[in-house]
Amino acid sequence: MSKTDNIYNQPLEQVGGFTFDEQVVQVFPDMIKRSVPGYEQIIQTIEMITERCAVQNSNLYDLGCSLGAATLSMRRGLNNKNGCQIIAVDNSEAMVERCQQYIHAYKSKQPVSVICADICNIKIENASVVVLNFTLQFLTPEKRLKLLTDIYNGLLPGGVLVLSEKFVFDDPVSHQLLIDLHLDFKRSQGYSELEISQKRSSLDNVLIADTVEQHYQRLQQAGFMHNNLWYQCFNFGSIISIK
Ligand code: GEK
């Protein structure tokens, strides 16, 4: 059972930049569900996408896997497909350690490797499904195109990338409304104004969101010609890109 996220419920003298450390690992499942509208729906749908798009004898990647929620969903979606391997990668040692415990707590004949590494430095090959579930937004913008190009090159024809992100919007009026609706969502999940504002400061310069159009442009530059938003709730959503 994950603990309740109360990391920012007391006033801090100085709010440091957000990091995925042991304290965050302990509350992570609660934090992400109460902060990202649609998170559970996206995780469930990754199972369906895997069922339809994974092919026998291929690799599946969960990049920025945290505690492996998308990995477990992909593993369920693989059912009895033969010869597949899931590679889950995160560069937070604390996350990887806990993720390994979670993954091995469930019995399955589908092999999963959980690796502690920077997703910019891993080889992606023979892939049928790649998931970047709320991870690209944490890479510095200059690194994003190369990663997407590596993913495109490592995918088999017909292979898919699921790219979930927090978005910003060019139109200032709708941008503000969608942000306000997200804050209402956080309030409805029991976060106080103090928690909301301290978390917001901690994510400044750590989470850099793009517009949906910037994502489409970058995906096209990387080689993906078939891109569509399959899910959106307020300023969060998920794009599917097909090679
Ligand atoms: C989920 N996908 O539950 N290399 C590897 N990992 C990274 C890097 C990097 N360069 N940068 C950040 N991370 C998960 C949720 S959380 C999203 C993903 C969030 C990792 C980081 O350590 C963290 O575990 C994850 O990306 C982002 O479906 O907390 O909003």
Strand partners, 242: 160, 226
Query: How many angstroms does the Cα of residue 88 sit away from the middle of ligand 1?
Result: 11
Helix 93-105 and helix 69-78, axial crossing angle in degrees, nearest 10: 30
Q: How far apart are CA 2 and CA 223, in angstroms?
A: 39
Strand partners, 11: none
Give tens-digit pLDDT for 83-112.
999 999 999 999 999 999 999 998 888 999
> In percent, how much of the chain has pLDDT > 90?
76
> In percent, how much of the chain has pLDDT > 70?
92
**Residue 127: its pLDDT value, please?**
98
- pLDDT over threshold 80, residue 37: yes
What single letter denotes the amino acid at residue 239? I
Q: Residue 49 belongs to what H/E stretch? A: helix 39-53
Q: How far apart are CA 23 and CA 41, in angstroms?
A: 26
Query: How many angstroms does the Cα of residue 91 sit away from the middle of ligand 1?
Result: 8
User: pTM, whole model, 2 decimals?
Assistant: 0.95
Q: How far apart are CA 35 and CA 205, in angstroms?
A: 18
Closest residue (by CA) to atom 20 of ligand 1? 64
Comparing CA positions, the residue from 24, 3, 168, 17 lying closest to residue 90 is: 24
**Residue 18: its pLDDT value, please?**
60
Model confidence band, residue 25 (pLDDT cutoffs 50, 70, 90): confident
For ligand 1, what atom is nearest to the CA of residue 131? 2
**Residue 6: its pLDDT value, please?**
78
Q: How far apart are CA 147 and CA 121, in angstroms?
A: 9
Average pLDDT, stretch 149-159?
98
In this structure, of 75-79, 186-190, 233-237, the range with the lowest mean pLDDT score is 186-190
For ligand 1, what atom is nearest to the CA of residue 134? 17
**Residue 206: its pLDDT value, please?**
80
In this structure, of 24-33, 120-129, 217-226, the range with the lowest mean pLDDT score is 24-33
Query: How many angstroms does the Cα of residue 242 sit away from the middle of ligand 1?
Result: 22
Model confidence band, residue 194 (pLDDT cutoffs 50, 70, 90): low
* Mean model confidence pLDDT for the chain: 92
Query: How many angstroms does the Cα of residue 61 sit away from the middle of ligand 1?
Result: 13
Model confidence band, residue 17 (pLDDT cutoffs 50, 70, 90): low
Which has more confidence, 39 or 1?
39
Query: How many angstroms does the Cα of residue 136 sit away from the middle of ligand 1?
Result: 8
**Residue 11: its pLDDT value, please?**
65
Average pLDDT, stretch 132-152?
97
For ligand 1, what atom is nearest to the CA of residue 64? 26
Q: Residue 161 belongs to what H/E stretch? A: strand 155-166
DSSP 137: G
